[in-house]
Structures are given as C-alpha cells and as structure tokens.
Chains A and B, each alone.
Chain A
C-alpha cells in the first residue's frame, strides 16, 4: 500500500513534468501528447490528461489555440506560456537535483 502510494506520487509529479516537456517542443494536440507519453512508457489513459491540462492552463502555464482540423470540428492545440517556460526551467533544475540525490543515495548504499 505504501509502495503503491509512493509510486503514484512519484509518477504524478513526473507526469506533470513530462507533459510540460512535451508541450515545450511546440504546439501539440492532446492525443499526440498521449502518444508521446506512451512512447516514453509513462502509461496513462487519456482521461487523466484532460484534468491535468485544464489545471495547468488555469494556473497560467499553458494556453491553447483552436486549430482547424481536416475532419470534424477544430481541435485544441496546447502551447507553453512564458510563465510555463519559467516553471519548466525551475523543474529542470529540480530534476537535476533529484536525480543527483538518487544517484548519490544509491552509491552510498553499494
């Protein structure tokens, strides 16, 4: 139970970071984000992504454009705001710190 909980917590934090990373490469559609995440083997179902995107958007990290689609109604394409980019930079440093912490912890063990 505890292991599960920790796993979920870790995955959740990383998921957010990964989503920001994927979007930082340029305008992208939600299902393409999913495809990228699947490629990265960070398995998620699409349903979890929409609340996350909405939350990030409402916090000012993301914005979206309506882009005409060849089939059917226009789609929402997400992109990073300046604020989002700032936060992403911060997260980058945090990640470096974290991976350093893990590396060192592992080395200490062995």
Chain B
C-alpha cells in the first residue's frame, strides 16, 4: 500500500505515488535550476513538463493502470535525460558549482532513529553533533527540576516530524536534487536493517500506546484535551490575574510579606515577570497542544512557536539569575549578643506577650496616637501563609552562679558579613520584666522595608538551682530543651524547678 497524490502537470491531472512524486519533483527542480540561467527558461520547462505529462498519459493507457509509479518516472527521466546530459550539449559549458553534498538545512524530528520522539536525533542532524550528547544533555537536565522533560515536550510540539523523503533530506542537509535524492535512497536501502534495530524499545512502546489509544477511540483523547484546554486556560487566567494583582497592589508593598520579603524591591517586578513567563509559556504550549489534539488544527505557526520558546528560555534565564542573586544574599551569617542580668526572685512566671511596643516612628506610620494606646497594640501572630517562619527560640539552662541572666542572641544572614551584621543589629525584640513576671514577645520585629534574611533571636535564660519557674502553655512553642507535656500539673501555668541536671517538673 502506498500513498498517492494528484498532481497537475502540463494541464493534465495525473495520479502519482508518493515516492514517484518526490523523485519527479527533485528532477523538475534540477531541470528548472539548470535552465534558470537562460532567458527562455519558462518556455523550455513548460515544454518539458508538457512532454512528461504526455509520456505519463501514454504509460497509463498503454499499461492500463491508474497510477504513475517510481519506475515510470525513472523511465521518463531516462528518456528526457538528466541535467548532466544537458550540460554536455550546452553552448556555454560553464563550470557550474553544483553542490550536491550540502543544501539548506532544516530542523525536523528524526523518528527513524528515535528513542522517544526523535527530538535529540533531529537536533544532532541539525547541529552535526553526535546524538548521544543531546540525549545525555536532556537526561541530565531532566533531573534538574525536570526542565529537560519540559524542554523536550516543548520541542516535541514545536519541531515537525520529517515525514517525506525530501524533509528527511532537508533534515540531514542534503541538497534536494536528483543526485542527493538517489544518494539518500541508496543510503536508506543500505541502512534499512540498522534503522529498524536502532528504533529501539521506547519507540515500540510509544507506538503501541499510540495504537491502543487510537483503538480506544479518539474521543477519549479529545475529551482529555478539552479538559486541558479548559483548566489550562483557567489556570493561565489565574496567573494573569495574580500578576495584575501583584502590579496593581504595588502600593500595598507586597515585599512586606514573607516569601517576597526576601527580594529587593528594585528587581522584584522583573523577577515576578520572569517567573510569570516561565510558568505561563509552558502552560500556553500545553493548551495549544491540546487544541491541536482536540481540533486537528495548528493554532499558531512555527515562527510564533519559536518566538514563544525564545521568550520562555529568556524568562527561565532571568528567573535563574535572580534566584541565584537572592541566594547570594544569604551567604554570610552574623550575630550580636546582648547579656542582661535580671532581678532575682525565687520564682518566675514566663508568659508570651502579644502586645508590641511601637516606636514613635511606627505610631506615626500606623496613625496611632501613642497617648491613647500607651504605645502598645495587640498583634495577632497566628501562623499564616504570609508570616515569616518562627524566629524566636528560648533555652532554659542552669546558671553557674547565683545570677539570673538572659542572653539575647540576634542572628541574620547577608551577602557579606557587614550586611549580615547590620541586619542583626536592626532586629527589634521585646522582652520585659515586671517583678517576677517575664514577658517574651512571640516574634521579632524588623524595620519597614527590611528584607527577610532569616533573622532569628535565640534567647538563653540561665537560672540558678532551686529557682521555680511557672511556664505558660504558650511558651512551649518557643522552647526546645525540655518536654512541656511531660509535666503534669494545672492547665495554663505548669511549675518547674531548676536542678543540678537541668529543668525538672516540680512535684507539688
């Protein structure tokens, strides 16, 4: 079984087999090229075409068949003569530089030597680099966040498959003329077994899957494609809305909230845009692919798809650039320590104080009259999506002497030590002592527009042996070196005592 084409040659409609058509096209192109130098090339080529059509018609009637085969075309070419024969009969026997080795190269997928879809082998033909390097490249990059898989899928969609022989020749950069054609044909014949073997296991699997999918019915894949189109478009719309919200609410300063507070305000918009592109373009590609599956039409042409690919790669590159830039802001660590001696009592109550001390500057900014609230406002520190990770820890240790000491250790990261140190110094942490009541703030405070650089406060409370501690249940969230729940006692404040071995539950 062979595919046939209807061609119009010399005003006759001729039914011709595909390989015969390819050979004829190659021959006629060569003839046209040969005569293109002469002034009456149009007339000559028309004469030749008319004559070929006539020969075809004679063949069809004489042999009583319907279709022109490759042997018929070969016979016609033999009678008409090849370009070589014309050359020897030419008046001006110029040395025409006839590059039969190399022609224009085009990028196609080579499914004859494919493991999956022939993207790598196509690229290797195009770049004249051995196919294994591309395979290694895609395999390695597949493990780097799956970018290789994504890239492969996109190229699978964008790069057309080399179906006809002339496409396969363009792919390999062979000139599409008669010499190249015959060479390619012979090559394929000699490589036939080899190609079959190198098609590999995966291609067979893919083929099998494809076949079973077809038998399962195209409706299923079309329904699936429809869903992908619907949800892909919705997701894309969501991304678009998120982007516009981000830019629209610029005045609200999103950099004050946690994940974005890592990033400098100067380049956050560029970075967000780059993220958007890196997410949106694959999404668009997916939707377009689904459209192609669902409606059997190409939604965009190849130029647009290549432009999309370029934009996407640009977005990925910019994203990576800024991500590394943000990471570099966390390179060095610095800490500042403040030691405070507390007034001594026999027992202390440790509680979490949610109120926050407002500086004069804060009061002005939040338009709060300091007189009315006495400089304090209750804050909600419940964990939410835009809260920084917990950044206060409290250790309770045994004191070596008689004194009660609170060590406040402020830590921060920065791109160098100096920056890290200045970040650490700018941490505000509220701790207050009211007689035996120790109030700890649940979170540290940063200046407005300060980036998050993993600022932390590590508190160490050293108490002498024998001192009793009533620890509020909420404090449990900040302490690590004793097991709050191991102590049975009244709800709310549980009583502990400092012993030689550390903090122990005080048995009432």
Contacts and interface: CB of A to CB of B under 8 A. Distances in A.
Interface in A41-87: 44-48, 50-55, 58, 71-73, 75-76
Contacts of A71: 57-58, 61
Contacts of A93: none
A48 B47 contact: no
A12 B89 contact: yes
Interface string B43-84: 110011011011001100100000000000000001111100
B486 interface: no
Interface string B16-49: 0000000000000001000100101001100110
Main secondary structure of the interface of A (DSSP, over half): helix
Contact of A30 (B31, B47, B90): B47
Contact of A47 (B50, B54, B81): B81
Q: How large is the interface on B (under 10, 10 to 19, 20 to 34, 35 or more residues)?
A: 20 to 34
A7 B35 CA distance: 23
Interface residues of A, number: 22
B40 A45 contact: no
A48 B81 contact: yes
Contacts of B481: none
Contacts of B86: 45, 47-48, 51
A6 interface: no
A29 B257 CA distance: 89
A54 B48 CA distance: 11
A72 B40 CA distance: 24
Contacts of B43: 54
Contacts of B89: 8, 12, 15, 44, 48, 52
Nearest to A51: B44
A30 B54 CA distance: 12
Given A31-B51, A73-B12, A50 B44 contact: yes
Given A51-B86, A54-B47, A73 B81 contact: no
Contact of A46 (B12, B57, B79, B91): B79
Nearest to A69: B54
A46 B80 contact: yes
A30 B51 contact: yes
A55 B39 CA distance: 10
A51 B54 contact: no
A47 B88 contact: no
B377 to A, nearest CB: 97
Nearest to A11: B89
29 contacts: A12-B89, A30-B47, A44-B81, A45-B80, A45-B81, A45-B82, A45-B85, A45-B86, A46-B51, A47-B31, A47-B48, A47-B80, A47-B81, A47-B82, A47-B86, A48-B86, A48-B89, A50-B47, A50-B48, A54-B43, A54-B47, A71-B57, A71-B58, A72-B12, A72-B53, A72-B57, A73-B12, A73-B50, A75-B54
B81 A46 contact: yes
B11 interface: yes
Question: Which 4 pairs, one residue from A and one from B, show the smallest C-beta to C-beta distance?
Answer: A45-B81, A47-B81, A48-B89, A50-B47
A47 to B, nearest CB: 4
A5 to B, nearest CB: 9
Nearest to B46: A50
A8 B92 CA distance: 12
B87 to A, nearest CB: 10
Contacts of B90: 51
A76 B47 contact: yes
A73 B52 CA distance: 12
B10 interface: yes
B85 A47 contact: yes
B40 to A, nearest CB: 5
Nearest to B48: A50
Contacts of B31: 47
A8 B91 CA distance: 10
Contacts of A53: 47
